[in-house]
């Protein structure tokens, strides 16, 4: 899976600030990283982007519908020069921010190559998701995506590759989701 | 003489049309001046460049403002994380209500930090004001362009390179 360079800026919205704290060791990760990237798309920016997406293009129309219910997308990513410069304990510190029952894990992928992906979701009611956090850990990259708002779980894949969100391989995501 | 005066007036109007009433660029430049104890380098024929960009690329960058700083004080170790954080805090204080932080990149490898802020869209919603501040070693560049929103969104596919994409 191609993971772009990115991660999460939680605590951007007051409601979320109460639920997801920015892990204290995120600064420590930034200190070790060769490259650190932060992307912030709040609701006003998403609305602007939505206006620009073309309804006649199927892909863009899908993304437009998808982001209509979103309040924000926050991505933070760290790229390291060498493998092993961040530890699984660093990742666990992020994962531990999403306790049940408020949060459930939708997908958990563990690969022998060291590519690990976790997708956590918050129930938004009526079969919708209320928020999603994606943690993608590769040997030399760690990416955290925080998507705030209501969205259809089937459409999560459509957001891959947009706004700095890593692309998801449709087949693997669906298989794991089942 | 009359032709020169007309040309000068045209250049001023061209630049003014793209950034009418916008004082944020100037305010940010002043803040960097004050914080790092330096003045922007004078760039000859900047107005002409602005005019050429307006004429040559109407769908892309319709105008730009540029400030280049050299010899920034207290900025000699671009790879120092504590310096990154301090500069982040400083940059967080700069945008006014019309500029939103969009992308922030720190590269130890390049010794470079890039901050991209997005302004309100144009009336047609086809373009938006984008301000890009780049720090490298003891130099800094601040660029403001009226960018095509499609270009801006495409640049987010590779956010680490967004600053370069938008500047080119």
pLDDT tens digit at each of 178 positions of chain A = 333 323 323 223 333 333 343 444 567 778 888 999 888 888 888 887 787 777 777 777 877 888 888 888 888 899 999 998 888 888 888 788 777 777 887 777 777 777 788 888 888 777 778 888 888 889 999 998 888 888 776 676 677 766 666 666 554 444 344 3
Which pLDDT score, from 0 to 100, does residue B14 have? 38
Instruction: Report the C-alpha gap between B139 and B73 in whole angstroms.
Output: 9
Residue A1 belongs to some domain of the structure: no
**Chain B residues with CB within 8 Å of chain A CB:** 81, 84-85, 100-109, 118, 121, 125-126, 128, 149-150, 153, 156-160
Residue A5 belongs to some domain of the structure: no
For residue A166, what is the nearest residue in chain B, using CA coordinates? Answer: B157
Sign of the four-CA dihedral A146, A149, A153, A155: negative
Out of B100, B126, B153, the one facing A49 most closely (by C-beta) is: B153
Residues of A in contact with B109 (CB under 8 A): 34-35, 81
Residue A9 belongs to some domain of the structure: no
Inter-residue contact B142 to B133 (CB < 8 Å): yes
Residue A86 belongs to some domain of the structure: yes
Range of the domain at A143: 14-177
Which pLDDT score, from 0 to 100, does residue B50 have? 59
DSSP state of B162: H
For residue B107, what is the nearest residue in chain A, using CA coordinates? Answer: A35
> Which parts of chain B register pLDDT below 70?
1-22, 44-63, 74-79, 125, 162-168
* pLDDT digit string, tens, across residues A143-173: 988 888 887 766 766 777 666 666 665 544 4
Inter-residue contact A148 to A125 (CB < 8 Å): no
In chain A, the number of structural domains is 1
Evaluate the omega torsion of the peptide bond into residue A101 and state whether it is cis, within 30 degrees of 0.
Answer: yes
Cα angle vertex B114, ends B120, B118, to 5°? Answer: 5
Q: What are phi and psi of B75, to 5 degrees?
A: -140, 65
Which pLDDT score, from 0 to 100, does residue B34 have? 93
Which pLDDT score, from 0 to 100, does residue B46 have? 62
Residues of B in contact with A39 (CB under 8 A): 102-103, 156, 159
* pLDDT digit string, tens, across residues A58-74: 777 877 888 888 888 88
Residue A3 belongs to some domain of the structure: no
Sign of the four-CA dihedral B111, A92, A22, A129: positive
The residue behind tokens 């391989």 is: A169
Q: Where are the domains of chain B?
A: 2-167
| Alpha helices, DSSP H, located in B19-161 | 24-36, 46-56, 81-92, 149-155
**Chain A residues with CB within 8 Å of chain B CB:** 4-6, 27, 30-31, 33-42, 44-45, 48-49, 51-52, 75, 77, 79, 81, 161-164
DSSP assignment string, A18-72: HH-PPPTTHHHHHHH-SEEEEEEEEHHHHHHHHHHS-TTSHHHHHHHHHHHTEEE
Quick check: B103 and A163 CB within 8 A?
Answer: no
Which pLDDT score, from 0 to 100, does residue B45 have? 62
DSSP assignment string, B49-88: HHHHHHHH-TTS---EEEEEE-S-TT---TT-HHHHHHHH
Out of B109, B128, B153, the one facing A34 most closely (by C-beta) is: B109
Residue A148 belongs to some domain of the structure: yes
| Alpha helices, DSSP H, located in A69-122 | 88-95
Instruction: Report the C-alpha gap between A95 and A78 in whole angstroms.
Output: 16
User: Looking at this predicted complex, what is its ipTM?
Assistant: 0.71
Residue A57 belongs to some domain of the structure: yes
């Amino acid at each position: 899976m191609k993971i772009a360079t990115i991660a999460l800026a939680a605590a951007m919205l007051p409601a979320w600030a109460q639920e997801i704290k920015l892990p204290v060791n995120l600064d420590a990760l930034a200190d070790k990283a060769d490259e650190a990237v932060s992307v912030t798309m709040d609701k006003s920016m998403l609305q602007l982007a939505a206006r620009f997406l073309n309804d006649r293009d199927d892909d863009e129309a899908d993304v437009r519908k998808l982001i209509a219910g979103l309040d924000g997308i926050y991505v933070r990513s760290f790229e390291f020069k060498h493998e092993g410069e961040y530890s699984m304990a660093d990742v666990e510190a992020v994962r531990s921010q999403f306790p049940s029952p408020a949060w459930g894990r939708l997908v958990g992928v563990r690969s022998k190559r060291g590519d690990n992906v976790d997708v956590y979701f918050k129930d938004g009611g009526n079969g919708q998701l209320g928020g999603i956090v994606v943690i993608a850990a590769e040997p030399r990259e760690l990416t955290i995506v925080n998507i705030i708002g209501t969205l259809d779980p089937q459409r999560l894949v459509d957001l891959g590759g947009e706004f700095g969100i890593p692309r998801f391989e449709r087949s693997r995501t669906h298989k794991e989701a089942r | 003489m009359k032709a020169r005066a007309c040309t000068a007036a045209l250049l001023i109007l061209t630049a003014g049309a793209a950034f009418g009433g916008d004082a944020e660029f100037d305010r940010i430049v002043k803040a960097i001046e004050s914080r790092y104890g330096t003045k922007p380098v004078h760039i000859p024929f900047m107005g002409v460049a602005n005019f050429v960009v307006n004429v040559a690329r109407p769908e892309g960058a319709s105008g730009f403002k540029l400030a280049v700083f050299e010899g920034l004080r207290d900025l000699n170790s671009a790879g120092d994380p504590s310096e990154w954080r301090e500069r982040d805090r400083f940059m967080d204080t700069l945008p006014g209500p019309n500029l939103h932080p969009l992308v922030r990149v720190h590269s130890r490898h390049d010794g470079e930090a890039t901050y991209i802020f997005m302004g309100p869209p144009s009336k047609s919603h086809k373009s938006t004001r984008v301000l890009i501040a780049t720090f490298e070693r003891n130099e800094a560049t601040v660029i403001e362009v009226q960018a095509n929103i499609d270009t801006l969104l495409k640049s987010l596919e590779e956010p680490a390179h967004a600053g370069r994409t938008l500047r080119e």
